[in-house]
Amino acid sequence: MAGFNKIVDSYEAAMAGLEDGMTVLSGGFGLCGIPENLIAQIKKSGVTNLTVVSNNCGIDGFGLGILLEDRQIKKMIASYVGENALFESQLLANELEVELTPQGTLAEKMRAGGAGIPAFYTATGYGTPVGDGKEVRVFSGRSYILEEAITGDFAIVKGWKADKFGNVIYRNTAQNFNPLAATAGKITVVEVEEIVEPGELDPAHIHTPGIYVDRVIKGNFEKRIEQRTVRAAQ
């Protein structure tokens, strides 16, 4: 029986079914905790007209930035972009659409998408361009705007360890948006550094329960550092 064995053996299989025009949610903050090999597979697959939802869009030549090289991204939903020159030039040339979303709202939109909540109110963005055209409502004397959930055709996620059931834990601050993206993909693909036996992960400390996960693959990671900062030697 296949049962709950979600492990796939190739990146082709991991991203099978991704098509032009789909929406892809990606975990990661900056270059930390990004599903780098799944992104590379998207590049390799050549699909285009993607809407990508991620806090950032990588850098030139690494992370989601590589999807700009062949203009695979039609629209980017992010809180902070422009760490790379290609992004900037495509944006200025109107070859790329960008929807800037406050970081907390972006996280909450993904969580809501996974949790069956179509929309929620938040104070974030009220009175700013983010609130333009959105419903405003007052609760207890304070104004809030209505924000809608985000879901994706695919969610691509970078975990630390997973079992074949798709239970995942993340390492340190590489957690970030990963568990949120994981809940909101029609197909959720998780690449991890290590696959462990079911039962090895403490049930009370699993970050992403397997019910959210469709495919698991073990990868090798470069884990590039964006701002290497050290303190002076003592």
Partner 1 sequence: MALSREQIAIRVARELKDGFYVNLGIGIPTLVANYIPDDIDVMLQSENGLLGMGPFPAEDEVDADMINAGKQTVTAATGASIFSSAESFAMIRGGHVDLTVLGAFEVDVLGNIASWMIPGKLIKGMGGAMDLVAGAENIIVTMTHASKHGDSKLLDRCSLPLTGAACIKKVLTDLAYLEIADGAFILRERAPGVSVDEIIAKTAGKLIVPDYVPEIQY
Q: Binding to its own copies (CB under 8 A): which residues in 93-122?
A: 108, 112, 115-122
Question: Which 95-114 positions form the footprint of partner 1 (CB under 8 A)?
Answer: 100, 102-108, 110-111, 113-114
Interatomic CA distance for residues 53 and 25, integer angstroms:
5
Minimum CB distance to its own copies, residue 43 (Å): 30
Contact 55, 103 (CB under 8 A): yes
Minimum CB distance to partner 1, residue 102 (Å): 4
What pairing do the DSSP bridges indicate for beta strands 136-139 and 142-148? antiparallel
Contact 85, 110 (CB under 8 A): no
Question: Which 31-60 positions form the footprint of its own copies (CB under 8 A)?
Answer: none
Residue with tokens 């902070």: 80
> For partner 1, which is the closer residue by CB, 13 or 48?
13
> For its own copies, which is the closer residue by CB, 3 or 141?
141
User: Which of these ranges, 8-16, 42-50, 137-145, 222-230, lies near its own copies under the rule CB under 8 A?
Assistant: 137-145
Q: 175, 190, 191, 219: which one contacts partner 1 (CB under 8 A)?
A: 175
User: Which of these ranges, 32-40, 75-83, 91-99, 163-171, lies near its own copies under the rule CB under 8 A?
Assistant: 163-171
What residue 137 binds from its own copies, partner 1, none (CB within 5 to 8 A, per partner kind)? its own copies
Backbone conformation region of residue 142, classed left if phi is above 0, alpha if psi is from -120 to 50, else beta: beta
Interatomic CA distance for residues 27 and 105, integer angstroms:
15
> For partner 1, which is the closer residue by CB, 46 or 203?
203
Helix (H, G, I), strand (E, B) or coil at 64: helix
Beta strands in 11-135 (DSSP E): 23-26, 50-53, 73-78, 97-100, 119-122
> For its own copies, which is the closer residue by CB, 171 or 218?
171
Residue 189: how many CB atoms within 10 A of its CB?
28
Interaction site with its own copies (CB under 8 A): 108, 112, 115-123, 137, 139-140, 142, 144, 148, 169-172, 175, 202-205, 207
